[in-house]
Structure 1
Amino acid sequence: MLSRIARRTFTSTAFNPYKVTVLGACGGIGQPLSLLMKLNEKVTDLRLYDIKNAKGVATDISHIPTNSTVNGFSAEESDGLTNALKNTDLVLIPAGVPRKPGMTRDDLFNINAGIVYDLATAAAKNTPNAAILVISNPVNSTVPIVAEVFKKNGVYNSKKLFGVTTLDSIRASRFISEIVKTDPTKEKINVIGGHSGITIIPLLSQTKYGNSLTKEQKDALIHRIQFGGDEVVKAKNGGGSATLSMAQAGAKFANAVLSGFAGEKNVIQPSYVDSPLFKNEGIEFFASPVTLGPDGIQEIHPIGEINAEESELLKECKETLKKNIDKGIKFADSKH
């Protein structure tokens, strides 16, 4: 058994080497995310980019003995961003300012929208076929910005654009396990919608605990999953937001995309994507489970059966989500 596992691991590393770029590699999310990608066997060429100091972070993690080279690029170099992106397979974008006490994800929009727009423009020109994984908040709006930029450049591929919502699923697994006293690694909750506040909808009715939790437990659990980020911001006393857990979530989803690229079967993860599920209601993007394959998104799964309470949550979600999406599209259009 061990020899088969070893051969499978070797095959994946030897014949499926992937180039991965982290844009915003020196930030609170960027550094631990870069570390986790250095530890990923599928990554053989890791490129880190930031305004400054990316070479330092790259040099630091390059000493870790895994089968990948690491190079740092900065905005101080005339071709730094171009070289960081050229022909890469996967781009992670955690760049931007973090959330501070009292800030909502929408408060971040004016700053982070411009950053994401510029990075997306560079990606569209230098690596149009790469998978783009957007972490920069507010994801509900920044993903549509990236889509508009790629459309403007004539290289948009909806199968390779992802908003990383994995943190919502990670939190859901952890938080419900604390209530029911189980192993969090064995818990899985389908979380749909968007990636902020009331747009995050954990479908508790689809779990085996749907009828055993009290209404008070359900309400508290849903609120905690929706606003878990506020819990971290408050606990850090203004010193940061959810960076370490977000880095783990980003690395987990990046690994899933690379697994799909490598031809692994039944790789299913939730993500905020260009989705047909509610397009007839004017909602262009929506988070639900997607199957990942060699070309990116292979299948977008429906949300499944939901109860009356979740239907009401979905209604509220869609109203907010449409506004968030429109905000991103309008921003991108204003830059044309």
Structure 2
Amino acid sequence: MRLLMMGTGPFAVPAFASLLDSEHEVVALVARPVPPPKGRVKLPLAPMRDLAAQRGVRILEPDDINAEDSCRALAALDFQLLVACDYGQILKAGTLAISPLGGINLHASLLPKYRGAAPINWAIFHGDTETGVSVIHMTARLDSGPCLVQRRTAIGPDEDAVELERRLSELGVAAVQEALGQIERWDGQSPLGTPQNPAAVTKAPRLKKTDGEVDWTRSAQQIANQVRALKPWPGTFSTWRRPQGESLRLILDHVSVAADTDRTGQPGDVVLAGKSRLLVATGGGLLSLDRVQPAGKRAMAVDEFLRGHGVTVGDRFST
């Protein structure tokens, strides 16, 4: 088949690479345009564009994929099926209709769970122990088309969003290939895939900076899940405050649920500040801060942080 690939982020790279190495022909890559740099800010990495350029694949970067000129450019490509993954824009019905066989989309959740822009992050945030990938036949509604293929996998107890994204992107390769086989065998008339259950829909909205603020009334396990979920952005952060008024904002780079049961305090209280341990009370259990990043500095092990800062029992963490 003649395929049009639509993808921007790194999650799409393994699936794109597999299509380039398959019997199918990828006529072009459509990616979101890279915003111009501000000041000395470096341009983000563009692995999809890099791979397309290396393999001689035409690259299109429309500002609005649903605009008339964008649709004309797509129609001129004479492709049969659209393959979308981590693209970043919702396609309207008229845009999808350009493709004779419609489109398929690789999504990083077990749909209908976690429809939206950040399924990996929210699965970890909510403490899920299982996730997976879904390939759907696209409709104009976000992540709502019938499922063609799903693949399941466990979420490791210490796995963060960066690590899980890497694994799911590889898991998606075979899922996309299987979905392509279904499309090739489809008669174009009979029902394709399994409809999603509307009653089981949950949302995975785009992350905001404020999602990283620690609410110390939550349990230690919930905060540990938050730290794993929000890597690399926005990160999970709180402010260390001393009774004398000194304060310092910290990113919690790595934490763990402490087994100690003989120390208590109000949520946010420092209950232990030893040479190599820093324990903070939460709404349920104690949280061990194992690695932190002070504002404007690099991440460091907590023993290094403790040597350079006079943290004591009675200090507090708060937003």
Answer with 1 or 2: which has the greater Rg.
Answer: 2
Higher relative strand content: 2
Higher relative helix content: 1
